[in-house]
Each structure stands twice: as C-alpha cells, then as structure tokens.
Chains A and B, each alone.
Chain A
C-alpha cells in the first residue's frame, strides 16, 4: 500500500477545502461565534484542514481495506469519524483533568461529528484506496 505524493496532494487539497467548508458552515450555524478575524481564520482553517486531511487520508490509505463492510465511502467515513471520536475521547479526558479549562459544548460537538462525516465522504469519493 503506497501513500504516494499524488495521494498526499489530494489529501491536502481535500483537507483545505473541508477546512473552508467548516468555516462557511459555522458562519451559518453560529455554533461558535468567531473570535478571530476572517483572514486569521482563513489561514488557520486552511492549515488545520490540511493537517486533518493528511492524517485522515493517510489512515484511509493504510487501513481503508481492513473494514468488514464494503464501499469506499462507508469505509472512509468510518475512519474519519473514528479519528474524530478518538480526538474527542482525548478531549473528554482533558476535560476530566482540567474542567476549568476544557469543556464540551453540545452544538459544536454535533457540528464536528457532521464535519467528520463530510470529510469521510470527500475522501471516499476522491481518494483512491482499497475499498471494494
């Protein structure tokens, strides 16, 4: 299973587009009122999206063929949501240790879950991996 420069580029591109999509979606849902300006967020959402995209894309390429169900989109969505859920689980742990600093907000969590599903769909459509 090769990760490859092309797949890396696709992952970065999809991640950046997803980051912009997340920024746009939040502008409509208002789950979190932005504290920084547009330009700052444009850059940070692009970088954050790219990092998220590379990680999800890499995991999909490495483990996309291991799931017991068929179809590229379901497999990509499963990996994307699992990674997001793992991060969230870590967030729960942090919240337990430092409740004064870290707390979960339901609207944002639901929005994050939706975004991870969307990212999985993106990758299922556009990234080539073993997911017959």
Chain B
C-alpha cells in the first residue's frame, strides 16, 4: 500500500517536470525553426520567431 502511494507521489512530481521539459524542447524547435525535428515548423512559426528576436534568414 505504501509503495503504491510512493509511486503515485513520484508520478505526480515527475509528470509536470517531464511536461515542462517537453514544452521546453518544443520551444527550442519553434524558436530555431528546426525543420529536421518537425517538418514545416520553420515556415509556420517564421513571423513569431522574428518578432521575439530570434535569428532567422
């Protein structure tokens, strides 16, 4: 029982951190327009990237 509770607590602590890490990775992909990671992301977020001051072509 205690082990199940511990697992639940670990999951609760870990999931948000994993989610934020995933979003941080997404942010990097968007900010640099890494088409190699997500096809089309460069053109899709081109204007956004320029407006927030990130380097682009």
Interface presence of A125 (CB below 8 A): no
User: A7 CB to closest chain B CB, in angstroms?
Assistant: 9
Q: Counting CB contacts under 8 A, is B11 at the interface?
A: no
Q: Which of B16, B50, B53 contacts A88 (CB 8 A)?
A: B53
- Output the nearest chain A residue to B26 by Cβ-Cβ distance: A51
- Selected from A3, A45, A91, the residue in CB contact (under 8 A) with B31 is A91
Q: How large is the interface on A (under 10, 10 to 19, 20 to 34, 35 or more residues)?
A: 35 or more
Contact present for A55 and B23 (CB under 8 Å): yes
**1/0 per residue A13-48: CB within 8 Å of B?**
000000100110110000110111000110011011
Contacts beyond the supplied A8-B16, A90-B28: 14 A-B pairs with Cβ under 8 Å: A3-B16, A25-B51, A40-B47, A45-B48, A51-B23, A55-B27, A58-B16, A59-B20, A87-B54, A88-B53, A95-B55, A100-B57, A108-B50, A110-B53
